[in-house]
Amino acid sequence: MQSGANYATALAFAAVALLAVMSVALFYLLVPAERLLLPWVRETTSQRRSGWAARVAVPAV
């Protein structure tokens, strides 16, 4: 038996890449939905936002 030769490295890499793309897409879909459905959250958190959180904030659509 050759258990070492049966690793599906390409398949595992593709699965990780697909999950990364899906997570980025989900993030960019949920941020506008959150801003649309929960406008009061942005009003209360924008005053506290600084540093990293202010730099990665997605502009309103």
- Is-contact 58 26, C-beta < 8 A? no
Mean of the per-residue pLDDT values of the chain: 79
pTM of the model: 0.56
CA geometry: angle 46, 40, 55, nearest 5 deg: 25
Contact call for residues 60 and 33 (beta carbons, < 8 A):
no
What pLDDT is recorded for position 7?
78
Say how far apart CA 35 and CA 45 lie, in whole Å.
12
- Give the pLDDT band (50/70/90) at residue 29: very high
The SS3 assignment for 21 reads helix
According to the model, what pLDDT value does residue 48 have? 58
pLDDT tens figures, 33-60: 998 998 888 777 665 555 666 666 666 5
- pLDDT over 60 at 22, yes or no: yes
- Whether 60 and 35 have beta carbons less than 8 Å apart is answered as yes
